[in-house]
């Protein structure tokens, strides 16, 4: 069980790390005071709306906005012609690299629309209703073109081509004709063909997944204001306000220093708010109208025009010895990128077999453009799709070998010193411990009834570090303000406060964590990649250490001793040279800082390296109703190597939330397109994310194998937990009905059909 408050005490050797204080921003969030993207009102504010393509693929012949501009109350209309053109450039601003020109054309179409929902124009008016009415008056002439959405259809030689300038990268010789295949990725070791031929036991499978959306409950929203002197201001909900600043400046041709971005509270992102959609449009409308402009997406727009993750095809061959030693893995991944290149197939290739030590492998990935919304990062981008195929195949292999699925995974599992399939050598990883935690858990041996099945699956995510800035300022009463540049997406303020309190030796409630705008703190990469507690936490710790060093200097000055004679312990300076002198508390030192040298504060900017990879193993029990094909999740257990849990309740929360999203991916969620390429289920009624009655309690086991590169041993925890559930659920359904279901989602009609086919 993951009972809260069951470990009220800090970890050995710590006073704050490992405790579960109430989050500092909690009061505002349970009382409705917290301000999210749509909650800001500026004086004289206009309302922006977007004219979207009703076609999946078409050439734009002309846009006539004269009637819209003539409507009373309409203040501005912008189209692609109002934005500068610039050469393609890859920017590492987000969770994944982004091609800024593609992003600009995704934000507002130029000569072609590439998917149903693609923005063709935006309007600002004095009320939302007038803006809405103006959209109807914007006339767009299209020449419809054939479209393609299915990934393998898009790879076919006769497929409609989305981009005339797209030639496949990563193949020799370079193609002479453009195609929808943007890139081929390859990771190879040993001789997989020979090893497969030599293996006594082999399994072969082909698996598919559909595009799914991150499903954050808060739609994209912003308010932007552009002054006549060229100074811009943006308030928006995103995973990184520095990312917003970078991309807006690029798309609009502005100087970075001319933009200031304030982070609103963010109502969920899961990777989907690592790019911009509305902000450059709102700035352009504000520039044209001279007034601030608020833009808020509808849920329909969120589904049709913002990042889902790829649908994919995963082909897997595994070859093993009779004792279960896997000697070969051959994996092919084909991913929908949406309208522009950049599916997460590269990360999928790197993670696909990262859990295992396999001497011969070939992992090949294909990045394919399709007439659907450009994919955005979604929690461990690509890894769940690859793991669905590989972990389903592992389950089949265990069955064929007659081996326990955990024993098979442990026998081949990655351990310290193993060279990972994607390059580096593993150190300080806890995969085997995580597998063992599942095997030892009571859930592993609970007897199952009829129509019930149990599935296990593993998952891997790199976790990342990167650029972060943090500042610590002491108040004259001895309290501390901790300032960072990372939006708090799931409780990170609490862990920042804990880490600062640990260094300063004060209680957590004496530390106030804040998130500052782009003008008030140094650059920080966005909140994503499971990097914030690790990298920004490292900056917080170093800034707090600088403050402690300064406090020691001040104490030394007061005592007139060398600073080496001062020690910092339990929130106070102790004089080693004069043991009978009373220690000076942080409060006391802060109170007299004016007389000892001035305010005490420190800011640290760094580029954190050495994020420890995360491994997760999930165990799922299901019951399948043979009458309806409905799957009930009976029990769910998530185990994960978390390095060290700074605030364990929010670590559990990440594990539970990731598991729930994965269960939705496995059972319910999918983008459904009609014959014309229009999304048919662009709403929460028909795109069904898990609700409270769909899920049981989600039990968690945190394994702590500390990461020595972080001051307190933290590893990223947010992403690994969405990697195993797709296969864990599918393996449980396989056990329950005796049929392998290779195509997600495992919806009731598919399961009924499989049961019927088995009986026939």
Partner 1 sequence: MSKIHVTTTVNGDAAEFLTDPGTTLLDGLRDHLGLTGSKEGCGSGDCGACSIIVDGRLVCACLMLAAEAEGRRIETIEGMAQGSELHPLQQKFLEHAALQCGFCTPGLLVAAKALLDTNPDPTEEETRYWLAGNLCRCTGYDKVIRAVLDAAAVLRQERRAA
What are the structure tokens assigned to 4, written together?
A: 């809260």
Q: Which of 265, 357, 621, 641 binds partner 1 (CB under 8 A)?
A: 265
43 binds partner 1 (CB under 8 A): no
For partner 1, the closer of residues 577 and 697 by Cβ is 697
> To which H or E segment does residue 652 belong?
helix 648-667
657 binds partner 1 (CB under 8 A): yes
What are the structure tokens assigned to 495, written together?
A: 């862990």
Q: With CB under 8 A as the rule, give the number of residues binding partner 1.
A: 61
What are the structure tokens assigned to 328, written together?
A: 């070969």
Q: Report the residue count for the chain.
A: 760
Q: Is 95 helix (H, G, I), strand (E, B) or coil?
A: coil
> To which H or E segment does residue 198 belong?
helix 192-198
685 binds partner 1 (CB under 8 A): yes
For partner 1, the closer of residues 250 and 688 by Cβ is 688
For partner 1, the closer of residues 360 and 527 by Cβ is 527
CA distances to 179, 610, 740 from 448, rounded to whole Å, are 50, 43, 19
Query: Cα(718)–Cα(650) distance, rounded to whole angstroms?
Result: 10
> Which residues are 460's β-sheet partners?
615
Per CB under 8 A, contacts with partner 1 among 109-168 are 129
For partner 1, the closer of residues 7 and 752 by Cβ is 7
Are 135 and 123 in contact by the 8 Å Cβ rule? The answer is yes
671 binds partner 1 (CB under 8 A): no
569 binds partner 1 (CB under 8 A): no
How large is the greatest C-alpha to C-alpha distance in the chain, in angstroms? 91
684 binds partner 1 (CB under 8 A): yes
Query: Cα(298)–Cα(332) distance, rounded to whole angstroms?
Result: 37
Are 586 and 572 in contact by the 8 Å Cβ rule? The answer is yes
20 binds partner 1 (CB under 8 A): yes
Shortest distance, CB of residue 19 to partner 1, whole angstroms? 12
> To which H or E segment does residue 333 belong?
strand 326-338
> Which residues are 645's β-sheet partners?
none
Shortest distance, CB of residue 457 to partner 1, whole angstroms? 17
650 binds partner 1 (CB under 8 A): yes
Q: Which of 10, 14, 39, 315 binds partner 1 (CB under 8 A)?
A: 39
Shortest distance, CB of residue 694 to partner 1, whole angstroms? 8
Query: Cα(26)–Cα(650) distance, rounded to whole angstroms?
Result: 13
Select the span of 324-332, 445-453, 601-609, 654-662 touching partner 1 (CB under 8 A).
Answer: 654-662
| DSSP single-letter state for residue 533 | I
44 binds partner 1 (CB under 8 A): no
What are the structure tokens assigned to 31, written together?
A: 């009382």
26 binds partner 1 (CB under 8 A): yes
235 binds partner 1 (CB under 8 A): no
30 binds partner 1 (CB under 8 A): yes
Shortest distance, CB of residue 25 to partner 1, whole angstroms? 8
CA nearest neighbour of 370 among 402, 396, 345: 345
Q: Which residues contact 376 (CB under 8 A, 6 or more apart)?
A: 214, 271, 272, 274, 275, 306, 307, 308, 309
For partner 1, the closer of residues 33 and 415 by Cβ is 33
Per CB under 8 A, contacts with partner 1 among 698-717 are 698
| DSSP single-letter state for residue 364 | E
Select the span of 72-80, 185-193, 254-262, 681-689 touching partner 1 (CB under 8 A).
Answer: 681-689
The site map against partner 1 for 267-286 (x = CB under 8 A) is xxxx----------------
101 binds partner 1 (CB under 8 A): no
Q: Which of 520, 628, 691, 758 binds partner 1 (CB under 8 A)?
A: 691
Shortest distance, CB of residue 731 to partner 1, whole angstroms? 20
Q: How many CA atoms lie within 13 A of 340 on its CB side?
A: 22
419 binds partner 1 (CB under 8 A): no
CA nearest neighbour of 316 among 382, 361, 383: 361
Q: Which of 8, 12, 13, 32 binds partner 1 (CB under 8 A)?
A: 32
Shortest distance, CB of residue 178 to partner 1, whole angstroms? 38
Q: Which residues contact 443 (CB under 8 A, 6 or more apart)?
A: 619, 621, 635, 637, 699
220 binds partner 1 (CB under 8 A): no
Query: Cα(120)–Cα(323) distance, rounded to whole angstroms?
Result: 60
Binding site for partner 1 (CB under 8 A): 2, 4-5, 20, 22-23, 25-27, 29-36, 38-39, 129, 214-219, 265-270, 296, 298-299, 489-491, 647, 649-650, 652-653, 656-661, 683-685, 689-695, 697-698
């Amino acid at each position: 069980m993951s009972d809260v408050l069951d470990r009220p005490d800090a970890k050995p050797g710590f006073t704050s790390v490992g405790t579960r204080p109430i989050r500092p921003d909690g009061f505002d969030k349970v009382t409705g005071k917290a301000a999210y993207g749509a909650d800001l009102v500026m004086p004289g504010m206009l309302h922006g709306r977007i004219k979207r393509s009703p076609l999946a693929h078409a050439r734009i012949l002309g846009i006539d906005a004269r009637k819209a501009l003539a409507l009373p109350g309409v203040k501005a209309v912008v189209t692609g012609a109002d934005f500068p053109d610039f050469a393609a450039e890859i920017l590492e601003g987000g969770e994944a690299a982004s091609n800024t020109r593609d992003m600009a054309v995704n934000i507002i179409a130029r000569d072609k629309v590439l998917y149903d929902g693609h923005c063709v124009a935006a309007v600002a008016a004095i009320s939302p209703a007038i803006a809405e009415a103006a959209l109807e008056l914007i006339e767009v002439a299209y020449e419809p073109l054939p479209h393609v959405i299915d990934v393998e259809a898009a790879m076919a030689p006769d497929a409609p081509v989305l981009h005339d300038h797209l030639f496949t990268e990563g193949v020799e010789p370079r193609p002479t004709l453009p195609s929808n295949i943007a890139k081929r990725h390859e990771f190879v070791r040993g001789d997989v063909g020979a090893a497969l031929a030599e293996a006594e036991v082999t399994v072969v499978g082909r698996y598919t997944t559909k595009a799914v959306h991150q499903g954050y409950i808060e739609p994209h929203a912003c308010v932007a204001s552009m002054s006549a002197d060229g100074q811009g201001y943006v308030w928006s909900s995103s995973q990184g306000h520095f990312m917003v600043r970078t991309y807006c400046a690029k798309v609009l041709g502005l100087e970075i220093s001319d933009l200031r971005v304030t982070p609103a509270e963010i109502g969920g992102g899961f990777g989907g708010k690592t790019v911009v959609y509305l902000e450059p449009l709102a700035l352009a409308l504000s520039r044209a109208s001279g007034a601030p402009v608020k833009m808020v997406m509808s849920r329909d727009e969120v589904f049709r025009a913002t990042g889902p993750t790829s649908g994919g095809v995963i082909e897997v061959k595994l070859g093993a010895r009779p004792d279960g030693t896997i000697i070969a893995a051959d994996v092919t991944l084909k991913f929908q990128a949406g309208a522009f290149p950049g599916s997460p197939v590269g990360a999928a290739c790197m993670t696909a077999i990262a859990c295992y030590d396999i001497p011969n492998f070939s992992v090949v990935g294909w990045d394919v453009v399709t007439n659907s919304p450009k994919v955005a990062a979604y929690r461990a981008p690509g890894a769940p799709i690859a793991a669905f195929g590989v972990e389903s195949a592992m389950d089949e292999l265990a069955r064929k070998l007659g081996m326990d699925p955990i024993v098979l995974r442990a026998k081949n599992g990655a351990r310290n010193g193993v060279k990972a399939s994607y390059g580096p050598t593993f150190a300080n990883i806890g995969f085997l411990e995580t597998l063992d935690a599942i095997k030892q858990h009571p859930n592993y041996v609970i007897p199952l009834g009829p129509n019930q099945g149990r599935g296990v699956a593993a998952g891997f995510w790199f976790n990342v570090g990167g650029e972060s800035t943090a500042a610590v300022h002491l108040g004259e009463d001895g309290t501390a303000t901790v300032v960072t540049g990372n939006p708090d997406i799931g409780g990170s303020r609490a862990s920042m406060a804990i880490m600062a309190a640990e260094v300063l030796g004060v209680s957590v409630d004496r530390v106030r964590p804040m998130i500052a705008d782009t003008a008030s703190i140094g650059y920080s990469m966005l909140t994503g990649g499971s990097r914030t507690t690790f990298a920004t936490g490292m900056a917080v710790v170093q800034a707090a250490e600088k403050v402690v060093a300064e406090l020691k200097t001040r104490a030394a000055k007061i005592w007139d001793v060398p600073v080496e004679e001062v020690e910092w312990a339990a929130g106070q300076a102790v004089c080693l040279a004069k043991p009978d002198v009373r220690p000076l508390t942080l409060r006391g030192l802060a109170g007299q800082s004016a007389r000892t040298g001035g305010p005490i504060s420190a800011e640290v900017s760094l580029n954190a390296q050495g994020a420890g990879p995360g491994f997760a193993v999930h165990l799922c029990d299901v019951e399948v109703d043979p009458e309806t094909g409905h799957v009930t999740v009976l029990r769910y257990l998530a185990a994960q190597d978390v390095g060290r849990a700074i605030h364990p309740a929010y670590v559990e929360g990440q594990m539970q939330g990731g598991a729930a999203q994965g269960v939705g991916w496995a059972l319910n969620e999918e983008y459904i397109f009609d014959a014309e390429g229009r999304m048919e289920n662009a709403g929460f009624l028909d795109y069904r994310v898990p609700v409270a009655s769909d899920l049981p309690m989600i039990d968690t086991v945190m394994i702590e194998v500390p990461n020595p590169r972080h001051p307190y041993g933290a590893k990223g925890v947010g992403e690994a937990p969405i990697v195993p559930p797709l296969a864990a659920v599918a393996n449980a359904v396989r056990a329950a009905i005796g049929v392998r279901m290779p195509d997600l989602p495992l919806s009731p009609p598919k399961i009924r059909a499989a049961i019927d086919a088995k009986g026939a």
